[in-house]
Structure 1
Amino acid sequence: MTKSIFINLPISNLAASTAFYEALGFERNPMFSNDKAAAMVWSEAITVMLLPHEFYATFTDKAIIDARTTSGALLCLTFDSKDAVDTIHRAARDAGGNEPRPAKAQGPMYGGAFEDPDGHIWETVWMDAAAIAEMPSA
């Protein structure tokens, strides 16, 4: 079996969150989606599970954070180009997401961060592999 990750996110509105992630290019997997959850596929190895708070709470006894005010995780997506980073940032803004860090050059990397409607932070990065290879090691 291929190693993969399912990222489970507590969300407040399943339909709105599903529409947001679809606008970013994620694909809904009907095999793992129903009226309680949506499985949003980024790649064959990464799936984001959107779980309304009441369903998410069945998996933990811990309090569910409000990601708009409390950071619980920083998730990062990698891209093949600067244009691809810019494209997902634009899609996130157009779909109602927040952009706390617009994409910009950061040495041999280019990226920023956007938030989904519930405040979950998604960092973005493209890396210039040739420039990184030329950097002196620490």
Structure 2
Amino acid sequence: MNKQVIFNLPVRDLDKSRAFFSALGFSFNPQYSGENAAFMNIVDGSIHAMLMTESFFKSLIDKPVVSAREANEVIICLSCESREEVDSLIARAVAAGGRTPHPPEDHGFMYDQGFEDIDGHLWNLVWTAPQED
């Protein structure tokens, strides 16, 4: 079996979160989804997120769930294949109800911008120029 990255995110409304991420082009695997969680494919076969209702997420830990609207523990960073893909995903995130916490940053060799999803989780999208040999 290939190694995979699966991270768990608490969400307030599972249906709204599924709709938000579907609008960005992510798909969901019904085999691992149910009324309390949705298994989201970010990069097929390697990177996934398990969106969990807050109550289900709380049942798995013995600490309080931090509100991502008030504090952040992590920024999820995804690489993109082009600057246009960064801009397209950002536009779709905003159209689906997300927001951008800062303008795009263009460093010439690297281009990035982030968005905040409808639960306050931060995502950063980055494109880097191919390395020349």
Give the distance between the partners of 2:47 and 2:103, measured in 1 at CA.
24
Structure 1 residue aligned with 2:98:
97
Give the distance between the partners of 1:123 and 1:6, measured in 2 at CA.
17
Establish whether residue 125 from structure 1 lines up as the match of residue 120 from structure 2: no
Q: Give the residue type in structure 1 aligned to 2:10.
A: P
Establish whether residue 31 from structure 1 lines up as the match of residue 31 from structure 2: yes
Q: Which has the larger radius of gyration?
A: 1
Structure 2 residue aligned with 1:15:
15
Q: Give the residue type in structure 1 aligned to 2:128.
A: M
Following superposition, which runs of at least 4 residues in structure 1 exceed 3 angstroms of deviation? none
Sequence identity (%): 38
| Gaps in structure 2 of 5+ consecutive residues | none
Q: Give the residue type in structure 1 aligned to 2:34.
A: N
Give the distance between the partners of 1:88 and 1:37, measured in 2 at CA.
23
Measured on the aligned residues, the alpha-carbon RMSD in Å equals: 1.2
Tell me by how many angstroms 1:104 deviates: 3.0
| Gaps in structure 1 of 5+ consecutive residues | none
Structure 2 residue aligned with 1:69:
70
Give the distance between the partners of 1:3 and 1:39, measured in 2 at CA.
16
TM-score, scaled to structure 1 = 0.91
Q: Are the equivalent residues in 2 in contact too, given 1:74–1:121 (CA < 8 A)?
A: yes
Give the distance between the partners of 2:107 and 2:17, measured in 1 at CA.
30
How many residue pairs are counted as aligned between the two chains? Answer: 132
